[in-house]
Amino acid sequence: MIDNPETDHEEWVDVDGVKLTQDHFLVRICGHSMEPDIPDGSLCLFRKYYAGSRSGKTMLVHEMTDEGGMGRFAIKRYESQKKQTSEGWEHERLRMHSDNPEYQEYELSAEKSYETVGEFVRVVADPELG
């Protein structure tokens, strides 16, 4: 997870090959945990998450804080294990996986609040390619 620095910085970016909607947004990646597919410093396109299966998808997850700050964000491959109860389905376990084997996977804690913000679409600008 990374801490989210508050910013009001905005910029316009061309995104070829994708029909953009108001549900799309860009995120500058800080970290190496999803390399090689998502390089550190790359600009990535996400689509806002509303509902549906997240398991196996690369998701942007927000760990919310009670301290009034923006909280922390993580981009990881999401794994969900569910069980059926008399009231429907509930999560037994939520795990976040890094693509880079140097970074460990971890479980989302039941003591903290999380929001699944968006689903990864693709890298728009790779800093290595200019």
Instruction: State the pLDDT at residue 108.
Output: 79
Can you give the C-alpha Rg of the chain in angstroms?
16
Nearest one of 105, 47, 102, 50 to 74, comparing CA atoms: 105
The tens digit of pLDDT for each residue in 95-128 reads: 888 999 999 888 877 777 778 889 999 999 876 6
Structural domains of the chain in order of their starting residue, each with its CATH number: 20-125 (2.10.109.10)
The tens digit of pLDDT for each residue in 43-57 reads: 999 999 887 777 788
Question: What value, to the nearest 5°, has the Cα angle with vertex 112 and ends 86 and 23?
Answer: 85
Residue 40 has pLDDT above 90, yes or no: yes
* SS3 label, residue 67: coil
Note the residue count of the chain: 130
Question: What value, to the nearest 5°, has the Cα angle with vertex 55 and ends 51 and 61?
Answer: 65
- Predicted TM-score of the model (pTM): 0.76
